[in-house]
Chains A and B, each alone.
Chain A
Amino acid sequence: MEHAPLNPIEEKLVKSDGGGLPKNMIAVAVQVDADGICRHSGLVIGVKGKYELFHYTGKEVKLEPLPIGEWYLHKELEILNADESVGFLHHCQMILDSANPQYGFVFDGSYYNAQGHYVSTNPFGEYTTCVGFCINTITGFLFNVERYFQVEDWGAENLPDWYFDAFMAKNSHLNREQVQPHIRRITPAEYTTSAYLEQLPIRKEKVDELIEDVKAAIVAKRN
């Protein structure tokens, strides 16, 4: 039976352990469950045919060989040339040595600089999610642009009402007024969509234009 041709969005979304990958690549990656829901995010870096996953598990930062059979899909970043992957891997190695994030839905425009150090204009420390961690990593690799995501376009509407109070209860040493404006959620699907965009910083309205197609492609690839 002949398969229908893939649409361009589906075509560029690749099962990470399916083989046949380009030797060099820098890609955003999402882990997808059996229902096609994105559960986790990372970055897949290929250097001369060796592939690694860089991610924040919620407990620790890991740079590890690309896992097999764990349903990662990836999309190469449009904004970077794949042959810059060795430089990107080096950037990840620097972050691996320095980063020490704690889990929290905090998006405040922070990033990891070339030394792998966490840079933020806020005083309350290194809180992030798996998505935020990847955004902060990509941001630190940029030279001419200050931000990968315009995080202020996003809000806390995708978080349950109780989230902020629960976060503050767990991190009672933090100042509520300082933290609250930066509580947001950028989902793994939104993060995946960003890889299709070339204009930086990534704006929510541009993500919204594409996200349903990207979600459909994720479900199609998972089945």
Chain B
Amino acid sequence: MNEEYLWNGGGEPDETTVRLEKLLAPLGYTESAGARAGAGRARRFALAWGLVAAGTALAGIVAVPWLRDP
């Protein structure tokens, strides 16, 4: 193992380190991925509120006839 390459990318590239860098780099942070995660969270939040609103509306529709006609 070339410790210098692992430490600062200097010296002779180490075969295993280079392979792992290439393999794992796509899992690293990019600003666009961060923005996607934020958008994904906002979508999930909107979906949850949408479901709650739809459930409340449905409960209202079902309950109104019962309230009118005791």
Co-complex (A, B): no
Interface residues of B (CB under 8 A from A): none
